Amino acid sequence: MGRPLDRLTLSGFKSIRLLEDFEFRNLNIMVGANGAGKSNLVSFFKMLRAMSEEGLANFITENGGADGFLFNGPKETSQIVSHLQFGLNEYKFTLAPTASVQLMVKAEGHYYRSGRWNDFSEGRIESRLKQWKDDKSAIWPNSPGVGAYIYAAVSSWVVYHFHDTSAHATMRRDQSVRDWRELNPDASNIASFLLRMKTKHDKYYSNIRETIQLIAPFFDDFLLEPENKGENEVVRLEWRQKGSSFPFQPWQLSDGTIRFICLATALLQPNPPSTIVIDEPELGLHPFGLEVLAGLFRDASDHTQLIISTQSATLLNHFDPEDVIVVDRVDGSSRFRRLDAKSLSDWTKDFTLGELWQKNIFEGGPARESIGSR
């Protein structure tokens, strides 16, 4: 029942004073300078995921408290308001700060296009989303209700964050064989997830393996051999290179290679989330790796929604203007605008999008009067 996000209205969240009825398509490539606000929109999706898991309070605490989530702080912004539309369903909520520097759910509601809003206006520390999981239809008792569709959609949106590739990163360590049901946002179960895929979805596993070989020609295959450690059965991301049977360890993969392995697995998995959000996927990748990654993005967008935040002109070169959302700051607030292919048609005859961005033909870099956005 998971569905991608069609439209979003958001006000008062971090650097986003107001994002009104903004359309998201299957492929959305956000580009902008440091501090423009791209990562703040990514943070919003992380918060939504936490809300769907009854983890809002912990999320706010772990990220510095409520004041940092309010546009220009609590003296200027008294609440965060959001309205999301997907398919025939809509979801809205209002968050307000508490005396304990938390955010409470001041109001929450859901709606089906042919019905009416169901509003819940009491203050709560956690969202009702998870409680709606088993909601039943008032008309067809054996069918899911609106709340169940809302929960299924929001809980299916995943922010993948593969930045921590250090020697102690969980993706490089032993993982429980049983932790295979979905790829974790930080790929901390990448070995067990791939082991399950190799066993049950060999076609998808082989596709991932062959894609990795495009950017790492020395790579042959993963070993993925479970072993008992006490009461637990674990597996790690051991691998071998072509022409050798020696078992290389996950900490012997470069940062860029292991990050690409995680990205390829996320994009080529058999049952991907309905919406995938990725922040700065270009980190540590060779230009050819970015070309392969761009192809993965385009192919994946045929069956799942992608929201990608990037500062890579090389990556931007591989997309069409209508795929690109330019993010910049205007009067201290983040502004989001989708490029207009018609306005840029004269420029794109001679330049790639990456070159136009570097030349500041459209905003998203250092300040300059822009064209080609709407």
Answer yes or no: are the C-beta atoms of 345 and 312 closer than 8 Å: no
Do residues 58 and 130 share a domain?
Answer: yes
Q: Give kind and range of the element (H or E) at residue 294.
A: helix 287-300
| Among 238, 232, 253, 130, CA closest to 179 | 232
Answer yes or no: are the C-beta atoms of 150 and 130 closer than 8 Å: no
Is 262 part of any domain? no
Do residues 19 and 134 share a domain?
Answer: yes
Is 330 part of any domain? yes
Do residues 204 and 148 share a domain?
Answer: no
Q: Give kind and range of the element (H or E) at residue 326.
A: strand 324-330
Domain count, the chain: 2
Residues 6 or more apart whose CB falls under 8 angstroms from that of 24 comprise 4, 5, 6, 7, 8, 305, 307
Is 47 part of any domain? yes
Q: Supply 32's token pair.
A: 């902008």
Do residues 288 and 147 share a domain?
Answer: yes
Q: Give the pLDDT score at 363.
A: 57
| β-bridge pairing 118-120 and 7-13 | unpaired
Find the Cα–Cα–Cα–Cα dihedral 136, 141, 143, 147, rounded to 10°.
-20
**3-class DSSP assignment, residue 94:** strand
| Among 33, 63, 67, 36, CA closest to 47 | 63
Distance CA 61, CA 70 (A): 14
Is 269 part of any domain? no
CA 269 to chain centre: 15
Residue 113, amino acid: R
Please, what sign has the CA dihedral across residues 198, 204, 208, 214? Answer: positive
Do residues 131 and 178 share a domain?
Answer: no
**3-class DSSP assignment, residue 112:** strand
Do residues 188 and 60 share a domain?
Answer: no
Instruction: Specify the pTM.
Output: 0.93
Distance CA 190, CA 185 (A): 10
CATH code at position 28: 3.40.50
| Among 349, 343, 304, CA closest to 326 | 343
Is 364 part of any domain? no
| Among 299, 288, 344, 291, CA closest to 320 | 344
Q: Give the pLDDT score at 114.
A: 65
Identify the domain boundary among 256, 288, 323: 256
| Among 299, 321, 175, 282, CA closest to 238 | 175
Do residues 148 and 197 share a domain?
Answer: no
Residue 222, amino acid: F
The DSSP letter of residue 129 is G
Counted residue by residue, the chain has a size of 374
Query: pLDDT of the chain along its 374 residues, tens only?
Result: 689 999 999 999 999 999 999 999 999 999 998 899 999 999 999 999 999 999 999 999 999 999 999 999 999 999 999 999 999 999 999 999 998 899 999 999 999 886 778 888 778 999 999 999 998 876 777 778 889 999 999 999 999 999 999 989 999 999 999 999 999 999 999 999 999 999 999 999 999 999 999 999 999 999 999 999 888 899 999 999 999 999 999 999 999 999 999 999 999 999 999 999 999 999 999 999 999 999 999 999 999 999 999 999 999 999 999 999 999 999 999 999 999 888 888 888 888 898 888 888 775 444 443 334 43
Residue 21's domain comprises: 7-156+275-358
Q: Give kind and range of the element (H or E) at residue 29.
A: strand 27-31
The DSSP letter of residue 136 is B
Do residues 238 and 346 share a domain?
Answer: no
Identify the domain boundary among 227, 256, 285: 256
Do residues 67 and 150 share a domain?
Answer: yes
The gap between the terminal CA atoms of the chain, to the nearest Å, is: 32
| β-bridge pairing 27-31 and 324-330 | parallel
The residues with which 63 forms a beta bridge, in sequence order, are none
